């Protein structure tokens, strides 16, 4: 997903199993491995889009 795409350009990801793993994890502050979920990625992308500053228009 590109931050330059509009919200209408979102790509739908279809998994054969509803809770299928993305195959990646993070280590939390207690040293535990936490699987990264689709929701975590979508939330991070949404936060980035909110903070995106559009470049000034060229004249």
pLDDT digits (tens, 9 = 90+) for 16-30: 666 667 788 999 999
Rounded to 5 degrees, what are φ and ψ at 39?
-60, -40
Q: What does the block give as tokens for 49?
A: 């889009």
pTM of the shown model: 0.53
**In terms of pLDDT, which residue wins out, 41 or 12?**
41
Q: How confident is the model at residue 42 (pLDDT cuts 50, 70, 90)?
A: confident
**In terms of pLDDT, which residue wins out, 59 or 4?**
59
For CA atoms 40, 45, 50, 53, give the dihedral sign.
positive
Domain boundaries, the chain: 21-51
């Amino acid at each position: 997903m590109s931050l330059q795409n509009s919200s209408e350009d979102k790509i739908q990801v279809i998994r054969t199993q509803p809770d299928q793993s993305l195959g990646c994890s993070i280590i939390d502050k207690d040293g535990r491995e936490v699987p990264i979920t689709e929701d975590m990625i979508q939330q991070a992308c949404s936060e980035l889009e909110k903070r995106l500053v559009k470049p000034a228009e060229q004249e």
